[in-house]
Amino acid sequence: MSQAIEPKAGILEIAPYVGGGCHAPDVVELSMNENPNGPPESAREALRKTAHLLHRYPPSDHRDLRAAIGAVHRLDPDRIVCGAGSDELISMLCTAYTGPGAEVIHTEHGFAMYRISALAAGATPVQVAEHERKVDVDAILDACNFRTRLVFLANPANPTGTMIGANEVGRLAADLPEHVLLVLDGAYAEYIEGYDGGAKLVDKRENVVMTRTFSKIYGLGGLRVGWAYGPAHVIDVLNRVRGPFNLGLAQLEAAEAAVQDRDFVERSRIENARLRGWMADALAELGVLSDTSCANFVLARFDSIDEAIACQDRLRADGVLVKRVAGYGLPHCLRITVGDEASCRRVVHCIAGLKAEPG
Ligand SMILES: Cc1ncc(COP(=O)(O)O)c(C=O)c1O
C-alpha cells in the first residue's frame, strides 16, 4: 500500500462488514433475515416488465414509489426519500449530519452499519450499554453531549429482536438535546401487527426520522430498496446528498408493486409469528433460551461460546447457515432467521441432536 496516499481519519478503523449469504440450492440460508418465501409474485412480474427499458435512465424523483408508500402507510409522499436499501439512508444521514468532531450514538448490540457509516463520515461512533439485550433510554440520554448529532435506534432491534415501547421512544425523542436527530430504524416494523414504525412520532416532532426497508418482509433484499420518512427539513437535506439515480427502474417498479401487496405482507407476518413462536419454544425445551423476538429471527443463547460455535458448525454440516453475532457483543449466541416450516424443524432437530450427545 502507498504510504503517501491515505484515506481520511476513521476509514481504517472500519472493520469491513462481513455478510453471510449463500444461494446454493442445497443450503438453507438462515443467516440474513430474508423472507423464506421470496418476494410477492406481483413484484416479480413488475420486475420482468422493466427488462426492455434497461437502456433508459430511471426517474430520479421516485415519485410513483413514494406515492405508493404514502398511500399504503397514509404518509405525505413529499416527506419520503428512497435509497438503495436502508443502508444507503443510514449512510446519507451520517454524511449529511455528522463529520469530524461529531458523535453518533448506537447501542451496545446495535446494527453494524451505524458504526461503519459514522466512521465513513469522519464522525466518532459512541456505543451505549443496553440492559439485558434491551435498549436503555436513560443510558442514551446520559451519553448525549454537545458533540452528539445522531442517535440510531432499531426498534425492533437486530440482532437481539427486542423492542422498547412507544412511550419510551417518545420520551427519548422529547428529552434529547435539540441539536440531536433520532433515527428510528424500522427494518423489521412490518413483523408487528399494527405497528407504524414510529411514523406518528415523526409527524409530531422535528427531530425524528424513520427508516424502512424492502429487504425483509417484502423479500427484496437482492434489489436494494429502502425509504425514510421525516420532517420536511430532514428530507430536503437527504435529497441534496442523494445521488440522482440511486435507484434503478427495476428496483422502483418491483418495490412499488410489493408495497401494494398487503395480502402478501399479512400472510408473511402471520406465518413468521407462528414459526418464530414454535422455534423459540422448541429451542427453550432444549435449554436454549431467547428473548421474545419481535422480528423474523430468534437470538438463541447457548450455555457457552464453545457450545454456540459447535452448534453453528453442526448446522453448517447439515447445510443450514445461521449467524454468529460475536461481533455484536453476543459471542454465546446465534441469530437464526425464521425460515419455512421445514427449515425451522431442521434447526431444532439438529440442535436437539447436539444437545443429546454426552457432554
Ligand atoms: C436493523 C437493520 N437496519 C437496516 C438494515 C439494512 O437493510 P437494507 O439495507 O437491506 O434495507 C438491516 C439489515 O439487516 C437491519 O437489520
| pLDDT tens-digit series, residues 215-255 | 999 999 999 999 999 999 999 999 999 999 999 999 999 99
User: In ligand 1, which atom is closest to the CA atom of 157?
Assistant: 1
Q: Rounded CA gap, 355 and 290, in Å?
A: 16
Q: Rounded CA gap, 134 and 191, in Å?
A: 18
Q: Rounded CA gap, 344 and 30, in Å?
A: 9
Q: How far is the CA of 33 from the centre of ligand 1 (A)?
A: 9
Q: Which residue's alpha carbon is nearest to atom 2 within ligand 1?
A: 187
Q: How far is the CA of 214 from the centre of ligand 1 (A)?
A: 9
Q: Which residues of the chain have pLDDT under 70?
A: 1-2, 20, 359
Query: Which of 30, 32, 106, 111 to mutate to test ligand 1, by most ligand atoms within 8 A of the CB atom?
Result: 111
User: In ligand 1, which atom is closest to the CA atom of 32?
Assistant: 14
pLDDT value, residue 18: 76
Q: How far is the CA of 223 from the centre of ligand 1 (A)?
A: 13
**Residue that has been written with the C-alpha cell 463529520 in this structure:** 99
pLDDT tens for 75-106 read: 999 999 999 999 999 999 999 999 999 999 99
pLDDT value, residue 2: 62
Contact indicator for 351, 325 with CB cutoff of 8 Å: no
Share of the chain above pLDDT 90, in %: 94
Q: Which residue's alpha carbon is nearest to atom 16 within ligand 1?
A: 158
Query: Which of 215, 223, 296 to mutate to test ligand 1, by most ligand atoms within 8 A of the CB atom?
Result: 215
Contact indicator for 105, 262 with CB cutoff of 8 Å: no
Q: Which residue's alpha carbon is nearest to atom 8 within ligand 1?
A: 85
Residue 359, Cβ density class (10 Å: 0-12 exposed, 13-18 middle, ≥19 buried): exposed
Find out whether the peptide bond into 331 is cis, omega within 30 degrees of 0: no
Ligand 1 neighbours (beta carbon < 6 A): 33, 85-87, 111, 154, 158, 185, 187, 213, 215, 221, 226
This model's pTM is above 0.85: yes
